[in-house]
Each structure stands twice: as structure tokens, then as C-alpha cells.
Amino acid sequence: MAQSGDKFACLTCYDATTARWLERAGVHVLLVGDTASEVILGFDRTIDMPLDVLLALTAAVKRGAPNTLVMGDMPFMSYQADEASALRNAARFLTEGRADVVKLEVDATFAPLVAKMTRAGIPVVAHVGSKPQQAMLSGGYGSKGRTAEEAASIVRDAITFEQAGAVMLLVEAVPDEVAAEILKHTSVPLIGIGAGTACHGQVLVLHDLIGLTDSPPRFASPVASLGPSFENAGREWVRRVADGSIGGVRYTMKPGEVRRFRDLLESGLPLTDAPDRPA
């Protein structure tokens, strides 16, 4: 699609049911992101995402969308400590998690690791620009590449990772000019998030897109307002339970069994074969 100039869509996803619907919608790439730490587990940082939980969620998404490219997001400290553990953890995403590619938030110093992963047969998506896993170094989430030096560094990182073997790039929260330069100097598909419209693909956190987030980031424009719909559905269920109008079709006993049931109760016979009790 990138070669032909067709834009491709990417969304985060964290469960099989949602994945099934997004595959039916034609979404091309599903990212099982460490944002699950925030929108699924309730933390306020992505770095709290447990590796084993993310592996399970990734496998669930692939089961729900078997014909869609699924990207596993390697969480904080699953690849930074040493190359051996990084390779093992990345391999787990391909085997246990059934992911098609893995994503790492990296700068140029990680190029040797990406090269080793590539040699091992692990397809890597290099995430450059704003890196949420490093947010604490700068006091919180924010954009990158707003100075000439920082912008040039991001472009150099992108070039370095393509040369190291990355099959795809993702750039987050940068000015349009930075994404344009990455496109000019690289040839692999580029996914953007808060990086303008020139990128080959675009990704958003699903919850931001469908109106489940109270305060979505500035680059996310919701296309639905499912939050209030969920709330209204919950309120309606509370009302139905209160007045007994829960709906649905009730189960019934087989013909003649109601009378037999009442006869059993009236006869005083035990309803079950209770075991003998000790004296």
C-alpha cells in the first residue's frame, strides 16, 4: 500500500471481540499497545504495562483478527536491559503473542539491537519522535522535533533504523516537516500519530477515536461518542433490574415436568441423593 500510494489505517486494540469488528471494518493494522496500561488496566503511565499481560492481549487480538497485521508493542524494560533478554522477549511476541511484527520505542543507540532482531527473523517497527516510555525524563508526555537539532536527530534515527533492518517506522507527535523529511530519506512504510497527514499510515488509540477517553490528546478527533452511550446503557440496565423488566426469553420446563416437580416437593422426598452423614 505504501508503494502504491494507498493510505493504510491502524488502530490500537486489546481484545478478540473488538479485533473481530475492526477487521470487519477493514482496519489494516492493529497495534496491541502498551497504552493498555492506561485504558485497560487503569494506570496513568504506559511503563506499568506487564509483559505477560501484553503477550496475552496480543494473542487475543490475533485470534479475533487472524487476517489482519497485528503489531505487538514491547513494554518498558522488556528490551532495554540487555540484548539477550530483548531477543527472547521479542520472540515471545511472535510465538506466544502470535504477532506479525514488534514495535520498540528507540533512538539510534538501539540500532545494533534492531539489526540482531532482524538477523534472528524478527520484523521490527522502530518508534521514533515522542516516546511515551521515556516521558519521565522530560516531565510528562509532549511533542518532539520542534527545534532544528531535535528534528534532525529524529530524521537521523529513522534513517538509521531502516538501515538496521526495520520493516516499518512509526513517528509520534512531531511537526509535519519532520515526518516529510523522514519520508524523503526512507523507503519503508511510515506510520504517523500526531505527525501530519503525509505518512503512509495513521494510528490512534481506539478509545480516543470512539469517544471513551475523557481528555483525548490534541491530535485525536473522535468520530463517535460511545462513552455517554455506555453510561446510558448502564443506567437503563439499573432501571430494568429495579422494575423487573430485564427482557430476553425465559427458560421453561419440559411439558408435564412442572406438575412432577411440584409432586416431588409435596411428597417430602429429598431433591438430591445426599451422601450418608456420619453419626
Judged against a pLDDT cut of 70, whether residue 279 lies above it is answered with no
N-terminal to C-terminal alpha carbon distance within the chain? 79
Sign of the four-CA dihedral 11, 155, 138, 176:
negative
Which pLDDT value is given to residue 151? 98
CB-CB contact of 61 with 15 (8 Å) = yes
Average pLDDT over the chain, rounded to an integer: 95
What confidence category does residue 276 fall into, taking pLDDT thresholds of 50, 70 and 90? low
Looking at the chain, the whole-number percentage of residues with pLDDT higher than 90 is 92
Q: Which of 162, 172, 177, 266 is catalytic?
A: 172
pLDDT in tens, 140-193: 788 999 999 999 999 999 999 999 999 999 999 999 999 999 999 999 999 999
Judged against a pLDDT cut of 80, whether residue 66 lies above it is answered with yes
Q: What contacts 170, CB < 8 A, 6 or more positions away?
A: 103, 125, 126, 127, 128, 190, 191, 192, 193, 203
Q: What is the pTM of this model?
A: 0.92
Which pLDDT value is given to residue 13? 98
Please tell me the distance from the alpha carbon of residue 228 to that of residue 60, in angstroms, as a whole number: 27
Judged against a pLDDT cut of 80, whether residue 278 lies above it is answered with no
Please tell me the distance from the alpha carbon of residue 95 to that of residue 118, in angstroms, as a whole number: 16
Task: Return the CATH number of 8-230, one of 3.10.20.310, 1.10.357.10, 3.30.1330.20, 3.20.20.60.
Answer: 3.20.20.60
Is 172 an annotated catalytic residue?
yes
Which pLDDT value is given to residue 165? 98
